[in-house]
Chain A
Amino acid sequence: MAQGTVIPTEAMTGPIVGRSLWADARTRLVRNRAALVSMIWLAFMALICIVGPEITGHSYDRIYTEYTRIPPSMTAYPKEDQITPAVERIGSRLRAKPEQIEVTGDTLRATFVGPRAIDERSLAFFERSDMFGAARVTERAEEGRRLTVEAPIERRYFFFGTDTNGRDLLTRTLFAGRISLSIGLLATFVAIVIGVIYGSVSGYLGGRVDLVMMRFVDVLYSLPFIFFVIMLVVFFGRNFVLMFIAVGAVEWLDMARIVRGQTLSIKRQEYVQAAEALGVDTRGILRRHVIPNTLGPVVVYMTLLVPRVILLESFLSFLGLGVQEPMTSWGVLISDGARNIQGAAYMLVFPSIFLVSTLFALNFIGDGLRDALDPKDR
């Protein structure tokens, strides 16, 4: 198998692929506007998911304790009405009451009055809060019982709001995209590698081998899929990558059938028979002639399988069997959001837009590819 896994990649990039067919398909794909827009969108999506989390200014696992479940906003936090309560909270930790609270630009000026001298070390609470920077005492009076301090206000943007733990949802949504997309690609890749090899071998060898191999596929078909996945989660719960390799290992059945069907017809072509007559061994024929010629339907199927895997992952998240914290995926975010739909709908809306538009794009690309590769349309 280890050697086998190399085959399709090599075949896809190698010069063996019939140029005219692919060039032809490419022109037609580009002419399909929906598919073209979808490809651009998908590339854009992949790009922002890869780059985005680094430039939003937040880390995907950074918790802002003072900003839990805040709604999305185009203007910066803290809002006017959040400052006074925050200062009061700090005041209670200083064991003092804030008397005057003034905000000028990005600077806070507050005067605290306490029954006893205020411990200035506790001013560190300003720095610890998510709203202010380090505080500086500008005035001491009444033997330290009256303290005027200045602290810079730290402006932060949460364009998508924050989650229950106070983490930036924009960053998390983008970060989740990385996970969801890579899960989709990984599982699909595994499914295709297994499916293509299995299907082409079965179809090419034919006869009794074919019968037994396809019988096995039939058995797996009848095995309820959810059961399999749940058992996989129970076993591999700790390792999500491994799990999706396993999912891919289940999802290859359709692929194997498709490739087998293709192989059966390719096998009768003259060039294959010629190669056989020349004494090329089975592996060589499969590599050089059979597999490259089955790639059309494989690629189409791939664009449909990626969304399926991503949706499957979100289904698992709904059951509470999703990715491990602090990682996240679109499925996890959406199932969180679906539960909070009445209190904090934004937690559902933004990740949903990302997921749905991505799946949309993949579907359109799949349709476009099918049309482009359709031999009848040539």
Chain B
Amino acid sequence: MIPFILRRFLSALPTLLLIVTISFFLIRVAPGGPFDLEQPLEAKVMENLRRIYKLDRPLIEQYWLYLSSLLRGDFGPSFYFRDFTIGDLFARGLPVSMTLGSLALLVAVLIGGTLGTIAAFRQNSWADYVVSGFGTMGLTIPNFVVAPIFQIVFGLMLAWFPVGGWNDGAVRAIVLPVVVLALPQIAVVARMIRASMIEALRSNHIRTLRSLGLPTSVIVRHALRAASLPVVSYLGPAAAALLTGSVVVETIFALPGVGRYFVEGALNRDYTLVMGTVVMVAVFIMFFNLLVDILYALIDPRVRYE
């Protein structure tokens, strides 16, 4: 197991390098630069700015500079938020996005898992149809529609929760964004659990347990174990996406997470911010893919990594 993990870490490095390279050059090809206003800057001023941020060097040198600072764990200064470094921004934004994302994930697994299990046990009953209808709904309504509706219903009409704002992570402030984030995930998890659960229930192993007259709770536990494999492999990338924030939810609920940095960074041509976000998301994706593989081995004893 340990050598396997080590090997994965090593193989992640060239992948990361490739990603950094692709995005480094891609973002610099986009028209407009980080310091452009509607009005052109005085040549001298622009020259100075570019020198301060080392944009006057040849591209290939900038690339090396960026790589070497990245190796030291330094993401560089932000070009738009000029009072901050990318490290500062992530240090403030990541806890927000990760809080929201992990709670949403938790909600999705608990509720989605429960709904999916119920649906599987009561296949083709009304409960099954309700779950699958709800599931499809959660997948088909865009979150930028759900979010304002929640704001109006629960924020304005019922006044249970604030309409927006982070309020230092107060519980009341994060309920709505977490639910909006969780909805589509609940749907997916419920559908996947239902499908793999039905399959698991048909397997000889569970049939045997059933015929032995074991209590439902035991059967559910065994079936869930078998049914959780595909869900786990789905949740890997999903977790990476959730924990790194959602631009829609963070924008509508006015939350200071990192999900907005992608879009804002790209639109502001904040090169370092975009690069930092790319690296961060890539690391999350690779980490969770690795985690999935490890979990696989733990859940399914047949899987072995030599």
Contacts and interface: CB of A to CB of B under 8 A. Distances in A.
A contacting B, Cβ–Cβ less than 8 Å:
yes
A224 B278 contact: yes
Contacts, number: 94
B274 interface: yes
Nearest to A308: B139
Nearest to B202: A376
Interface in A279-322: 307, 311, 314-315, 318-319
Nearest to B187: A363
Nearest to B12: A222
B216 interface: no
A219 B15 CA distance: 5
B247 A224 contact: no
Contacts of A209: none
A222 B15 contact: yes
A319 B248 CA distance: 8
Nearest to B32: A234
Contacts of B263: 226, 230, 319
A219 B19 contact: yes
Contacts of A337: 145
Interface stretch (B20-28, B96-104, B296-304): B20-28
A318 B136 contact: no
Chain B interface, DSSP helix/strand/loop, else mixed: helix
Contacts of B281: 224, 227
A311 B266 contact: no
Most B C-beta atoms less than 10 A away, residue of A222, A319, A331: A222
Contacts of B31: 234
30 contacts: A215-B15, A218-B15, A219-B18, A221-B285, A222-B19, A222-B285, A223-B278, A223-B282, A224-B282, A226-B263, A227-B23, A227-B277, A231-B27, A231-B266, A235-B30, A307-B139, A311-B142, A314-B144, A319-B263, A331-B142, A335-B142, A335-B144, A338-B142, A341-B152, A352-B145, A356-B140, A359-B139, A360-B140, A363-B139, A364-B136
B149 interface: yes
A360 B138 CA distance: 10
A255 interface: no
Interface in B14-45: 15-16, 18-19, 22-23, 26-27, 29-31
Contacts of B142: 311, 314-315, 318, 331, 334-335, 338
A227 B140 contact: no
Chain A interface, DSSP helix/strand/loop, else mixed: helix
Given A315-B248, A363-B140, A227 B278 contact: yes
Nearest to B18: A219
A359 B140 CA distance: 6
A363 B16 CA distance: 35
Interface of B: 15-16, 18-19, 22-23, 26-27, 29-31, 136-137, 139-142, 144-145, 148-149, 152, 199, 237, 247-248, 262-263, 266-267, 274, 277-278, 281-282, 285-286, 289
Nearest to B275: A227
Contacts of A318: 142, 144, 248
Given A222-B16, A360-B136, 11 more contacts: A219-B19, A224-B281, A224-B285, A226-B262, A227-B262, A314-B142, A314-B144, A318-B144, A337-B145, A341-B148, A360-B140
A295 B139 CA distance: 25
Contact of B274 (A227, A315, A355, A363): A227
